[in-house]
Amino acid sequence: MHNVAITGTGVFTPAQTITNDELVAAFNAHADLFNAQNTDAITAGTIDEKPHSSSEFIAAASGIEQRYVMDKAGVLDPARMYPRLAERADDAPSIMAEMAVDAARTALNGKNPASVDLVLCAASNHERAYPAIAVEIQQLLGTSGFAFDMNVACSSATFGIQTAADMIRAGSIKSALVVCPEICSAHLEWRDRDCHFIFGDVATAVLLERDENLQAPYFKVKSTRCATQFSNNIRNNNGFLRRTHDQMNDRRDMQFMQNGRKVFKEVLPLVSKHIADHMEAEGVQAADLKRLWLHQANKTMNDHIGKRVLGRDPEPGEQPNILQDYANTSSAGSIIAFSKHSDDLIAGDMGLICSFGAGYSVGSVIVERA
């Protein structure tokens, strides 16, 4: 058995942002348009009037203040409310690959890509079924060995880290890039007031290597743990059996769907128990953890989890949030937090990365600064 280290991380952040006010203005214009087009049906009671959204509600309910997107104009067009992401020719790099390659180069930080044995593209939505996006990334970067895609929704990054770490531990590979390109804007229903504010786009990358002759600073991967439990409370029915553009326009279930309240209630105890069990199994006490890098879906939820794990309110900076700037970026959220808020830890400091979401799924990674 070999030990595993995280030796680099990278974040690709799209150039365009949408503030809550911009988002709400577009949504309200869309709602007015919808209501004007459906006056008769609304009067007859066969269709519900679309109520306005509010920036105040969004900030208070979620903690989100803005989000990054790959195409702002399409999302904010009240007659469209969907990003314009042009299909690319088969011989052009795909969007996910392009985003992931950018993040991966940052994670490699000048290291030779040929020394990487595995690319794992772990994300909630893949823009095609095959060839795997990961294999395209392998070619664009010039990495060695093999590559494959996996999807565990919001937990894709931590499940990807465990998958790659297990191969490094067993000796079948020496290093891996786990990339999470998340184009959440394409699966979000921007016309649904209950969730139109939730997601943003981003890509992250984590470089994992065998912990052998490494130059500090880096993070030792002390332990990983994954768990799943079936639930329909976060669901997207789009798939190869059901996809024509007309259907997508008509069928709400072809985009992201959630029962947010139930998710909140059910996932919170699941995650808290998962982390507590993982810590107990590894002999890690709350006082040993210098930082929590949690999945970034909802600020209140993270505050609750942080409190349950530490047994007190987290101090400022102990449990950094990035969702105010990025919104929920599915699997990438905890890795953005880790990437942006871990450099100050010193040798011996321990922390925990945890992601959770659809499935339900929850994955945790205990790390120690070296």
Residues contributing to the site for ligand COA (CB under 6 A): 53-54, 57-58, 61-62, 154, 193-194, 234, 258, 260-261, 263-264, 297-298, 301, 328, 357-358
**Would residue 226 show up in a list of annotated catalytic residues for this protein?**
no
59, containing H or E segment? helix 55-62
- Alpha-carbon span 183 to 62, nearest angstrom: 20
Locate tokens 């930082």: which residue? 291
- Alpha-carbon span 140 to 224, nearest angstrom: 29
What is the residue-wise DSSP string for 238-263? -BTTB--HHHHHH-GGGS-EE-HHHH
Distances (CA, A) of 132 to 37, 93, 96, 148, 252: 42, 12, 11, 6, 27
Distances (CA, A) of 333 to 33, 185, 267, 310: 34, 15, 16, 21
Please say which residue, 154 or 202, places its beta carbon nearer to ligand COA: 154
Please say which residue, 219 or 326, places its beta carbon nearer to ligand COA: 326
Please say which residue, 49 or 166, places its beta carbon nearer to ligand COA: 49
Give least dist CB 15 to ligand COA, A: 24
Q: Which of 121, 154, 180, 226 is catalytic?
A: 154
CB atoms within 10 A of CB 242: 12
Residue nearest to ligand COA (CB): 260
Give least dist CB 42 to ligand COA, A: 17
Give least dist CB 44 to ligand COA, A: 23
Please say which residue, 146 or 264, places its beta carbon nearer to ligand COA: 264
Give least dist CB 219 to ligand COA, A: 25
- Alpha-carbon span 44 to 32, nearest angstrom: 18
Q: Which residues are catalytic?
A: 154
